[in-house]
Amino acid sequence: MHIRSRRSWEIPESAATPESAFFDRRTLLGGALGLAATTLAGASARAALPGEGTGATRTADLYPAKRNGAYTLDRPVTEERYSADYNNFYEYGTNKTVTPGSNALKVQPWTVAIDGLVENPFEIGFEDLVRKMPLEERLYRHRCVEAWSMAVPWTGFPLAALVALVKPSADAKYVRLQTFFDKGMAPGQRQFFYPWPYTEGLTLAEATNDLAFLVTGVYGKPLLNQFGAPLRLAVPWKYGFKSVKSINRITFTAERPKTFWEALQPSEYGFWANVNPAVPHPRWSQATERVLGTDQRVPTLLYNGYAEQVAGLYKGLEKERLFV
Ligand SMILES: Nc1nc2c(c(=O)[nH]1)N[C@H]1C(S)=C(S)[C@@H](COP(=O)(O)O)O[C@H]1N2
Ligand SMILES: [Mo]
């Protein structure tokens, strides 16, 4: 499954590919079933170029959105041809080439349910939701736990704007965000040993921090499927696995949500997962990162460079495993 030609710049991750390494072990157990599912996906979806397979949400008129100049970068924006061709999206396979398979993701119609401990639970069509929200473009860094990174112009709206709309009740302490669950649309979800649907969570304080962003587009147009269309999260001070894709349910809870990766391997992928170069992953260093589209490794920054905005969220939580 992972046998394919690699470009030279991809090699560093073969040493540090936590999610795949874990998967490989399980695949041996899953055996033929896993293979059959993957082959099926390959057969039904012809190879697509980055840029194909989406735009189906009828929201293209909203792009490009005005850039919010408050969010700047210390590095050039990663070219789309790199970021759109090197993705983690386990619903469509465990190597980085998910674009052809993710053509099977149908984003129209798409409904988002907002429920749990809120005054105003509701279900809303994706298009209606986007048209209610203040769309803007922000330049964000993204740091995968596997030690690669990119810098992208996301379009979306603050998660805080959604929280304000639904009015969580006093006992709501966390926000759980979930990906769709549809084995017909995502062959990876037939891998029964994964705790589908992909689930992530934030404290309410994190969710209402300015940086927590619900993303609907990138590079000045609606999200391509492989980026997690039509709606994904971007929490750039945390490792990339927190930025859950293709969200269709957002639930406010009193208990800390059990996340997909935490359920699989809690010692390696915890709830907090804040970026910290000084705290190594149990199997590799997090001190540096390879920037997609380059051969360069650059130093990784505390909270991925966003310490000023988010460090205060963690006062009093020093006993927690904030950086794993
Ligand atoms: N539903 C879902 N969301 C997901 C993932 C996934 O496999 N499934 N992978 C995560 C990981 S590990 C990373 S690094 C980012 C990758 O985002 P990108 O492919 O847009 O770069 O998505 C995150 N969100
Ligand atoms: Mo990741």
Rounded CA gap, 103 and 273, in Å?
A: 30
The reply to whether ligand 1 has any atom less than 6 angstroms from the CB of 90 is: yes
1 within a domain of the structure (yes/no): no
CA of 47 to the centre of ligand 2 (A): 23
- Measured at the alpha carbon of residue 244, what is the angle toward residues 42 and 288, in degrees to the nearest 5? 95
Confidence of residue 57 (pLDDT cuts 50, 70, 90): confident
**Structural domains in the chain (count):** 1
Q: Which has the closest alpha carbon to 29: 190, 268, 193, 186?
A: 193
Q: Which amino acid residue places its CA nearest to atom 20 of ligand 1?
A: 227
Q: So what's the pLDDT on residue 197? A: 98
321 within a domain of the structure (yes/no): no
pLDDT value at 316 more than 70 = yes
**What digits encode the pLDDT tens for the residues 79-107?**
999 999 999 999 999 999 999 999 999 99
Q: The domain containing residue 228 runs over which residues? A: 13-314
Q: How much is the average pLDDT of 108-132?
A: 96
Could you count the other beta carbons within 10 Å of the beta carbon of residue 244? Answer: 24
CA of 243 to the centre of ligand 1 (A): 6
Q: So what's the pLDDT on residue 19? A: 52
According to the annotation, is 87 in a ligand binding site? yes
323 within a domain of the structure (yes/no): no
Query: What angle do the packed helices 32-44 and 18-30 form, to 10 degrees?
Result: 110
Cβ(157)–Cβ(213) below 8 Å:
yes
Rounded CA gap, 95 and 17, in Å?
A: 10
DSSP classification of residue 14: H
pLDDT value at 41 more than 60 = no
197 within a domain of the structure (yes/no): yes
The H or E element containing residue 29 is helix 18-30
Q: How far is CA 144 from the centre of its chain?
A: 10
What percent of the chain is modeled with pLDDT above 70? 83
Confidence of residue 2 (pLDDT cuts 50, 70, 90): very low
Cβ(258)–Cβ(106) below 8 Å:
no
Cα maximum dimension of the chain: 53
Q: Which ligand is nearest to the CA of 228?
A: 1
pLDDT value at 73 more than 80 = yes
Place of tokens 């990138």: 218
Residues linked to residue 247 through DSSP beta bridges, in sequence order:
179
Render 62-94 in DSSP notation, one character per residue. Answer: G-SPPB-TT---SSPPPPHHHHTTS---GGG-S
Arithmetic mean of pLDDT over the chain: 87
pLDDT value at 116 more than 60 = yes
5 within a domain of the structure (yes/no): no
The reply to whether ligand 1 has any atom less than 6 angstroms from the CB of 179 is: yes
322 within a domain of the structure (yes/no): no
320 within a domain of the structure (yes/no): no
According to the annotation, is 285 in a ligand binding site? no
- Amino acid sitting at position 313: L
CA of 98 to the centre of ligand 2 (A): 14
4 within a domain of the structure (yes/no): no
**What digits encode the pLDDT tens for the residues 19-40?**
555 444 444 333 333 333 333 3
Q: So what's the pLDDT on residue 56? A: 65
pLDDT value at 225 more than 70 = yes
**What digits encode the pLDDT tens for the residues 163-193?**
999 999 999 999 999 999 999 999 999 999 9
Pocket mutation for ligand 1, best pick of 91, 97, 243, 249 (most atoms within 8 Å of C-beta): 243
The reply to whether ligand 1 has any atom less than 6 angstroms from the CB of 146 is: no
CA of 199 to the centre of ligand 2 (A): 14
Q: Which amino acid residue places its CA nearest to atom 15 of ligand 1?
A: 240
The reply to whether ligand 1 has any atom less than 6 angstroms from the CB of 176 is: no
3-state secondary structure of 145: coil
**What digits encode the pLDDT tens for the residues 267-313?**
999 999 999 999 999 999 999 999 999 999 999 999 999 999 999 99
Q: So what's the pLDDT on residue 121? A: 95
The reply to whether ligand 1 has any atom less than 6 angstroms from the CB of 245 is: yes
> Which sign, positive or negative, has the C-alpha torsion 187, 142, 128, 162?
positive
According to the annotation, is 143 in a ligand binding site? no
pLDDT value at 202 more than 80 = yes
pLDDT value at 60 more than 50 = yes
pLDDT value at 146 more than 90 = yes
Pocket mutation for ligand 1, best pick of 54, 86, 194, 241 (most atoms within 8 Å of C-beta): 241
- CATH of residue 234: 3.90.420.10
DSSP classification of residue 225: G
Pocket mutation for ligand 1, best pick of 78, 81, 87, 89 (most atoms within 8 Å of C-beta): 89
Phi, psi for 157 (deg, rounded to 5): -145, 155
Q: How much is the average pLDDT of 244-253?
A: 98
Q: How far is CA 285 from the centre of its chain?
A: 22
Pocket mutation for ligand 1, best pick of 223, 245, 250, 289 (most atoms within 8 Å of C-beta): 245
